[in-house]
Amino acid sequence: MKKKMMKLMALLATCALIVGALAACGSSGGSDAPAGSAADSGAAGQTFTVGICQLVQHPALDSATQGFRDALTEEMGEGVVEFDEQNASGDSATCATICNGFASDNVDLIMANATPALQAAAASTATIPILGTSISTYGAALNIDNFDGTVGGNISGTSDLAPLDQQAAMVKEIFPDAKTVGIMYCSSEANSVYQADEMEKYLTDMGMTVNRYTFSDSNDVSLVTQEACDGNDVLYIPTDNTAASCTDAIDAVAKQAKTPIVAGEEGLCTGCGIVTLTIDYYELGRITGQMAAKILKGEADISTMPIEYFPNTTKKVNTANAEFYGLTIPDDYVAIETEE
């Protein structure tokens, strides 16, 4: 009788261990839940892995990534989200490698910072939720005709597009005597091409002659800038990631030629421009992080989430560059804060 009792107790103990192991397996992230959903985030001990692919390091993208991380951590709690943050150093092929790695690891969500990163993420998976940020227009980035504001499938995110008609008006306001405007951008960035197309229409309607100059990567930025400066009264650079990572080179050529620049966002303006109509990239990243929290908590379906925009733009001036070019800027422009 005693031996039978000992065997029964051993059997019960083994069963308890098996049940405990099964429960533990169900408490971690990286689940196979369908796109746009996640297991109940209130489950004790549950964690998530979020892959971040950032195209290149420059102030605008850096701020968006930081805002995303801060907001998502605040929404989910400390230690709930593990971030795998990787930078492609401006190389689209590296974006593909990074995103394919995220897909193989079956992360819970991918944040793609800039257009080439979004394109790489979209090609890597059709099931893992993907949120883009610092994307000017998702229609151009993803080749969607008649884009209605919602991508569908496993993709959504935020846009950094400022009103281009107002940026064109800014060119006319600051440089009323300018006859020729050179638009300079990277030919491989779909969103830059879109902005150049739209700006050319607006500036032409204002009576200016528009010339377009493109570079394929950072290696020919200086030569292209010199050509653009030689042929125009003023330059316009849209929200272009290659240009944003080469502002020192652009600024050196432009100042030597005495050709002023209107920039598409604050980081560019800080590096080489005079004025800009810009959004707050940190706050844009925070909006993206809040969207991610809703997806991970199971509160939203990414396939029905429309693209979100930063609600306000600000007219800003690089006062040092304005002084260099001898320009008086209207009082409604806010001075860009620079580190001492």
In this structure, the number of other CB atoms found within 10 A of the CB of residue 150 comes to 16
For the beta sheet containing 81-87, the strands, ordered from the edge strand earlier in sequence to the opposite edge, are 81-87, 48-54, 109-113, 130-135, 155-159, 308-309
Domain architecture of the chain: domains with CATH: 48-160+280-309 (3.40.50.2300), 164-278+314-335 (3.40.50.2300)
Task: Tell me: pLDDT of 29 over 90.
Answer: no
- Residue with structure tokens 């943050």? 85
| Per-residue pLDDT tens digits for 283-292 | 999 999 999 9
- pLDDT at residue 217, as a whole number: 86
Task: Tell me: pLDDT of 34 over 50.
Answer: no
- pLDDT at residue 14, as a whole number: 42
Q: Can you name the residues that pair with 250 across neighbouring β-strands?
A: none
Q: What are phi and psi of 180, to 5 degrees?
A: -125, 135
pLDDT bracket for residue 16 (50, 70, 90) = very low
Query: With pLDDT > 90 as the criterion, what percentage of the chain qualifies?
Result: 84
Pairing type for strands 308-309 and 48-54 reads unpaired
pLDDT bracket for residue 17 (50, 70, 90) = very low
